[in-house]
Amino acid sequence: MKTLKQWLTAIGGATVGWAAWRLFAPEFWQRAPSPFLSTAPLRATALITGASSGIGEAFARRLAREGYDVVLVARRKERLEALAEDLKRRHTIAAQAVVADLSRAEDIRRVADMVAGLANDGQLDLLINNAGFGTVGHFVDVPMSEQMNMLAVHVEASVQLTRAALPGFLRRRRGGIINVASIAGWFPMPGNAMYGASKRYLINFSQSLQAELEGSGVFVQALCPGFTYSEFHDAPAYRAAGFRRDVIPPFLWQTAEQVVEASLNQLGRGEVICIPGLHNRAIVLLGTVTPPAIVRAVRRRAGV
């Protein structure tokens, strides 16, 4: 009996220690200078999809301040070109606007060819697969075209651009790939089933790919933010559903700049998954240890 009690105490202590590490340790390295950025070549380029607003724009502005040239990919031509001009004026870097709709196969191929060219020429240092969107409604009610567009933007584009960058990165033994996922990837998402599923794909893909690339000098990250102040929830689907930011407690929100700072400061430290914010890590940790039956009961009680 004494031995059993000792074992249970040891297991309980180890579990508490592991949970504390997962919660609090990232707070230290997410505030420290980025090892990846600090070793960047003198003239480095980052390509960012979904760059015209939100997290993508925040990445562009942060990297331009670091002296990175940037290739900005998004659908909105005027917004993209205005951002490129602003970055060139402020930071004396090269900024290129590439108008592309990554739900279209031909546009994915065009951007992938650009990524491959830059990487093979030794110019591309960082690829950020950030483009994405959400839908609202039960899977059976949302048009199939929207569901397939989401798969194309979140999964197909990210996979093809990553594959295009890797040969050049591996030859140089340096490169970074950030796949913007979400804490939604850890939870069933009734009313947005494809969103959570596609983000989970990016998390698993990033983890598996980093395992393959161990020791290569190429770092992969799955960035998993929670509620972020951006234009994401201003999309017509969310407006039509009556989404209101003010019903979400303020402590659950982060700025796009906070998300980007955490991501870049963690890149290159050996951790694939980056969850910015203590509150978001607590949500994920609780979600992974809570029995599914309790989660379902809470969801039913909340009417979700």
User: Residue 82 carries which DSSP code?
Assistant: H
Q: Is the pLDDT confidence value at 12 over 50? A: no
Asked if residue 26 belongs to a domain, the reply is: no
229 catalytic, yes or no?
no
Residue 288 maps to a domain: no
Per-residue CA distances from 296 to 141, 164, 247, 286 (Å):
22, 41, 22, 14
By percentage, how much of the chain surpasses pLDDT 90? 65
Out of 195, 201, 229, 238, pick the active-site residue.
195
Q: Is the pLDDT of residue 97 over 60?
A: yes
- Min mean pLDDT across 26-40, 52-66, 71-85, 184-198 is at 26-40
Distance linking the first and last C-alpha atoms of the chain: 45
- Backbone φ and ψ of 283, nearest 5°: -60, -45
d(C-alpha 83, C-alpha 61), whole Å:
9
Look at residue 246 in the predicted model and tell me its pLDDT: 67
Name the 3-class secondary structure at 60. helix
Q: What is the pLDDT of residues 252-303, one digit of tens each?
A: 878 999 999 999 999 999 899 999 999 899 989 887 776 666 555 544 554 4
How many structural domains is the chain composed of?
A: 1
Determine, yes or no, domain membership for 2.
no
In one letter, which amino acid is 158?
A: S
pLDDT at 294: 58
Q: Is residue 300 part of a domain?
A: no
Task: Confirm whether 290 is domain-assigned.
Answer: no
CATH number at residue 85: 3.40.50.720
Q: Is residue 256 one of the residues assigned to a domain? A: yes
User: Is 289 inside any structural domain?
Assistant: no
Cα distance between residue 202 and residue 190, in whole Å: 19
Domain assignment present for 295: no
User: What's the domain range around 61?
Assistant: 32-278
